[in-house]
Structure 1
């Protein structure tokens, strides 16, 4: 905030009024310099940045460096910087459904209550979705082979209208999802498909009858 206050000064008088309450901070930071004109604010900002970014953290950084020298860790970092980069440097991570799911804790109502029943309606559909895609409403002891997968239904050039309903290929455990412009339309079509498909032979009939 000190830097922003100095940068936003429009006149030399504003600069003096802004820096006067900061004299103790500037003195401790080694940034106290005589100001003779408005343009001197740029030099002052450079001094403050140098203190905040380098000088203020130099001591802790040097102690950290000395600690890394223990057992030759610093030499290993210098010799293999890319291997240590994920451990020492932050990098943006692409959000995934699993990552977002791990960030939240679900707080459900007491077991047996009406609220709990309403809250678990979504989880009760998971078995139905799994059965729709694979033919099994629970995970088999040996798992699935092939691994269940999801694809998306796009409008083909030789098709007049894209499918509004999901399609499953249980032979390869593949669930093909339609693309909708709203979540409500997607949910309604998913609920219709899951509620009216009760076997392997029903998928094609369901799609034809829906249209």
Structure 2
């Protein structure tokens, strides 16, 4: 499924931890870079961080004793942990809990990624790991990013319609910024909203607007085809935007209601 998503230009499955992606890309557990922060269990993560940060042998022994419930079951860990082999203990312990313990599952995932040549592509071009890595910062959820993706398709410069369309774009971008800054609720003033409406306003992100227009909240691996556009409909009868996801178009209505100088 992940291979199919990637080759068909869908929303990339970028939700794997860096250590898992290392194992997929390198195919060698010895080349996996790990740290205690890669461990999901908070207690286990805290205990290994204590081992790593210990500066005195007594502190190290206390920290290691917190790992006694599992460490003797893990092959390759030093039985006696000293300041000299502390890093080896931590690295091997993290490797066990992040990769070795679920290695059979990860091998099945690797087998699936071999379809359509995706795995070989990843291994020949390690920079493409961004297709799988959890993104550090989701720019797709930024108002300026979404505004830059949706290119306005204006009427001819100098026409009566052009100035109105430019104003609508300004209002649309103000709306996106309002969504990003979580200020949309303020524009409703004292109006009573339902619980569903309140919850919707709290969770709404600019990426949702992109998804409404294109079907994807993120830019696909091979980009959008066709390029997303803002289209303008001069009609006094309607005002709610319409999406045409097959064409990656968001249609905005231009009329007295949408151009009104209010929130």
Give the structure-2-normalised TM-score: 0.33
Structure exhibiting the larger radius of gyration computed from Cα positions: 1
Give the structure-1-normalised TM-score: 0.39
